[in-house]
Structure 1
């Protein structure tokens, strides 16, 4: 094993499996993704600690446990179409791709869309990164087997559920009355019938609307 693979294995064993993540697919995927490549060079040595880290533009890469928990809730299977809202560094996208999912990921900050796209392409990940804020007007058509929101939403956007196939899953950190955030797992039964369950409390950067960056010059 290389040095980073040893570190990734230790991270999964001590920080993720030890905290109750049981999905073998998630554990294997997180051992296979070089998390340090999704961080600024100055922070590469901190890649394997169980903590969020800054990636620029006032954004962060989520702590490994949170990535694992949200991925386990989403339960992506090989070949499934997954929509991610908030690409950020691209690390969460890479974990989903490592599980065999085909990922479309939306990022509102152009510099992050470009840098994450390059990092993912360099690793051969099956991820399409789009410069979009994920609002109703710019949403992908779908349908999708899963939707994963990686920023704190003040409320559910109706279209997140609409683009799900029957049996599809939505995972989103929602603001709650206590003032914090909590993960919601929504499973689509059919039509507008859903099964909602609440999971871990968490802390994410806020979900914002509006693209940031310059339009490409023709």
Structure 2
């Protein structure tokens, strides 16, 4: 299937980047990545004309594609450096994965919904985004691939998963939406083998992080 990225789409992305600047996204590498990723291709066709609005949209299987501001903020909080090994928990639409890959990371991404996993991995590969994608339980992470420089979680976790904390290298960082009914975006840094430092950033709203794998 041919997927198009027109001059019109590029212009819409340019306007989106300027909107994110006004919302205090200051990391130029994040803004450049968002300016390159064709977000409209990650949406259901009925939403394409809204693709570059700063809004979240449904993508099926009870999930959403995060609003660009959320993707930009989480990416900025990660303080991404090219070549870093990053675990993404919740591949979802694949949009956040594409932004991180554009920033030059070695991405490992895990998704629990079989339907989303198949669709997103197919799209990402079709668009040339190279990462390592897994169908599995995000609460378990990818112990065999650990440790990671950074971990990004794209669903609201009612508890901070200890399995994931243990997969961070010392000095590594996790960005996680924490909470059940009320969520706050947090940044957690592993100080040493046993200690972690937490910082609350701002209130947020994500779909819940769930256990187990659905579909194959």
Partner of 1:36: 40
Moved more, 167-176 or 89-98: 167-176
In the alignment, structure 1 segments of 5+ residues that lack a partner are none
TM-score for the superposition, normalised by structure 2: 0.93
Kept in 2: contact 1:133–1:210 (CA 8 A) = yes
Q: CA deviation at 1:140?
A: 4.2
Note the residue ranges of structure 2 that are not aligned, 5 or more in a row. Answer: 1-5
Aligned to 1:141: 145
Q: Distance in 1 between matches of 2:197 and 2:63?
A: 31
CA RMSD of aligned residues (A): 1.4
Alpha-carbon distance, 1:100 to partner: 0.3
Task: String of CA shifts for 1:96-146, please: whole Å, max 9, x gaps.
Answer: 001001111111011110111011111211222111122338644311110
Measured after TM superposition, the shift of residue 159 of structure 1 is: 1.7
| Structure 1: distance between partners of 2:197 and 2:36 | 32
Equivalent positions of 1:1-218 (< 5 A) are: 2-14=7-19, 16-136=20-140, 139-175=143-179, 179-214=181-216
- Mark the CA change 1:139 to 1:12 in structure 2 (over 3 Å): closer, same or farther: same
CA distance in 2, matches of 1:24, 1:165: 26
Q: TM-score, normalised by structure 1?
A: 0.93
Q: How many residues align?
A: 211
SS at match of 1:190: coil
